[in-house]
């Protein structure tokens, strides 16, 4: 066995207080015994290989994780030991983390799935690290394997629950849409169109968040979903500029609804209702860590401020401001609508 650590020997004392030195071979055997006992007591799987990839040591946790006890001096891939990538694809010998660490002479981390002889599988995280001799030459590697099956099972349950939640939310929105269509019969078609558009915008935002496990959403992906119905391959109706940011779920939903209202208004009355009209959407992060987003319409019909605020204006100026603790400015200069949102990213 390649000795990885040296233990300070504990010598018994003679009556006069002097150390009773043991024979060198006895001291070495005692050091190795304690070293093995220490590694066998670890809950994590630990094993070592030489420069040829042959196993020189493994502890009890490694044998339990593998589901068999390999023969020392044999390749770690002998017998029934097989590996898969986290997505289930077979992993070749030269692709495993241990082989890479040995070949490249560097420590790394990785995840894989071990297939035991009885067919059961266990997901694990690997932390291989090269071993060097006194001259600095790589002489082997040591690997620590941590069973992450419970974590992976939890992540899978969470994914299934999120997908089920998203499915139910979509069903609920579809039900609301059907009820609205029945209830709003006889109302002007414009009112129905705007209402259904808001439901669709909400559904699109949910889709983006679900794809990220409801951890947040990319502002570019979110914006792309909102403006997609109004984009034209022949015309550059939108000029978009800003760093890619990962928005919190609350901010993603609020901004999605606000941008939908701005798009709908621009298509009906503003810049997007004219052939040459366009919209500039820019955002940045201020020194104080706040998001500053600006919507500016250009080259559209002349604009007049509305006599009263509709639902869309209230949603932007009051709803977004309240939901995100934001400063919102919505103005109607003759050249086109301008909206600025200043909100904390946290």
Give the pTM.
Answer: 0.55
* Residue 110: φ, ψ to 5°: -170, 170
The whole-chain average pLDDT of the chain stands at 82
pLDDT greater at residue 5 or residue 97: 97
| Model confidence band, residue 43 (pLDDT cutoffs 50, 70, 90) | confident
| Model confidence band, residue 283 (pLDDT cutoffs 50, 70, 90) | very high
CA–CA separation, 227 vs 241, rounded Å? Answer: 14
Q: So what's the pLDDT on residue 143?
A: 92
Range of weakest confidence among 182-186, 228-232, 235-239: 182-186
Strand bridging mode 278-285 / 238-241:
parallel
| Residue 306 in tokens | 């509305």
> Residue 41 above 90 pLDDT?
no
| Model confidence band, residue 93 (pLDDT cutoffs 50, 70, 90) | confident
Strand bridging mode 278-285 / 45-50:
unpaired
Range of weakest confidence among 10-19, 50-59, 305-314: 10-19
What is residue 322's DSSP assignment? H
Query: Could you tell me which of 252, 228, 250, 249 has the C-alpha nearest to residue 240?
Result: 228
| Residue 232 in tokens | 């034209």
Residue with the two structure tokens 């201020």: 286
109 neighbors 126 (Cβ within 8 angstroms): yes
Mind listing the pLDDT tens digit for each residue in 116-173?
888 899 999 999 999 999 898 999 999 999 999 999 988 888 878 877 777 777 777 7
**Helix 249-268 with 189-211: angle, nearest 10 deg:** 150
CA 67 to chain centre: 31
> Residue 234 above 70 pLDDT?
no
3-state helix, strand, coil in the chain (%, to 5): 40, 25, 35
**Helix 219-227 with 249-268: angle, nearest 10 deg:** 30
What is residue 234's DSSP assignment? S
Cβ count near 275 (within 10 Å): 9
Strand bridging mode 82-84 / 138-147:
unpaired
Mind listing the pLDDT tens digit for each residue in 269-280?
999 999 889 999
Q: So what's the pLDDT on residue 17?
A: 43
* Cα angle 205, 226, 296; round to 5: 130
Q: So what's the pLDDT on residue 186?
A: 63
Burial class of 157 by CB neighbour count within 10 A (0 to 12, 13 to 18, 19+): exposed
pLDDT exceeding 70 applies to what percent of the chain?
A: 84
| Model confidence band, residue 96 (pLDDT cutoffs 50, 70, 90) | confident
CA–CA separation, 84 vs 93, rounded Å? Answer: 10
| Model confidence band, residue 21 (pLDDT cutoffs 50, 70, 90) | very low
Q: So what's the pLDDT on residue 89?
A: 92
Q: CB under 8 Å to 305, separation ≥6 — which residues?
A: 332
Longest dimension (CA), the chain: 109
| Residue 5 in tokens | 């650590």
Mean pLDDT of 193-211: 74
pLDDT exceeding 90 applies to what percent of the chain?
A: 32
| Model confidence band, residue 19 (pLDDT cutoffs 50, 70, 90) | very low
* Residue 280: φ, ψ to 5°: -100, 125
Range of weakest confidence among 24-28, 86-90, 124-128: 24-28
Q: So what's the pLDDT on residue 12?
A: 44
| Residue 268 in tokens | 């009906």
* Cα angle 167, 227, 257; round to 5: 60
CA–CA separation, 174 vs 292, rounded Å? Answer: 34
Q: Where are the beta strands (DSSP E) in 5-77?
A: 45-50, 55-58
CA–CA separation, 85 vs 91, rounded Å? Answer: 6
CA–CA separation, 41 vs 37, rounded Å? Answer: 6
Query: Could you tell me which of 210, 212, 180, 211 has the C-alpha nearest to residue 198?
Result: 180
């Amino acid at each position: 066995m390649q000795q990885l650590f040296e233990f300070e020997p504990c010598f018994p004392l003679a009556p006069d207080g002097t150390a009773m030195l043991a024979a060198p071979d006895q001291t070495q055997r005692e050091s190795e015994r304690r070293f093995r006992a220490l590694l066998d007591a670890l809950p994590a799987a630990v094993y070592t290989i030489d420069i040829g990839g042959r196993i020189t040591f493994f502890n009890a946790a490694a044998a339990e994780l593998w589901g068999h006890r390999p023969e020392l001096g044999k390749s770690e891939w002998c017998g029934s030991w097989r590996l898969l990538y986290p997505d289930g694809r077979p992993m070749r010998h030269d692709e495993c983390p241990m082989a890479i660490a040995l070949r490249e002479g560097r420590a790394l981390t990785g995840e894989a799935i071990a297939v035991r002889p009885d067919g059961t599988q266990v997901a694990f995280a690997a932390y291989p690290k090269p071993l060097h001799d006194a001259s600095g030459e790589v002489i082997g590697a040591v690997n620590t394997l941590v069973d992450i099956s419970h974590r992976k099972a939890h992540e899978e349950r969470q994914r299934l629950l999120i997908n089920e939640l998203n499915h139910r939310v979509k069903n609920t929105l579809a039900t609301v849409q059907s009820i609205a269509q029945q209830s709003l019969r006889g109302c002007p078609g414009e009112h129905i169109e705007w209402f259904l558009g808001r439901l669709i915008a909400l559904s699109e935002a949910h889709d983006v968040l679900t794809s990220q496990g409801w951890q947040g959403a990319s502002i570019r992906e979110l914006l792309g979903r909102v403006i997609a119905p109004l984009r034209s391959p022949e015309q550059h109706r939108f000029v978009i500029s800003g760093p890619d940011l990962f928005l919190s779920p609350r901010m993603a939903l609020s901004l999605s609804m606000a941008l939908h209202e701005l798009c709908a208004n621009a298509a009906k009355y503003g810049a997007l209702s004219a052939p040459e009209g366009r919209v500039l959407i820019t955002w940045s992060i201020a020194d104080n860590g706040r998001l500053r987003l600006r919507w500016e319409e250009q080259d559209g019909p002349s604009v007049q401020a509305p006599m009263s605020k509709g639902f869309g204006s209230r949603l932007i100026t009051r709803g977004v401001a309240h939901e995100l603790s934001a400063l919102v400015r919505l103005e109607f200069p003759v050249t086109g609508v301008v909206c600025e949102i200043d909100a904390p990213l946290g």
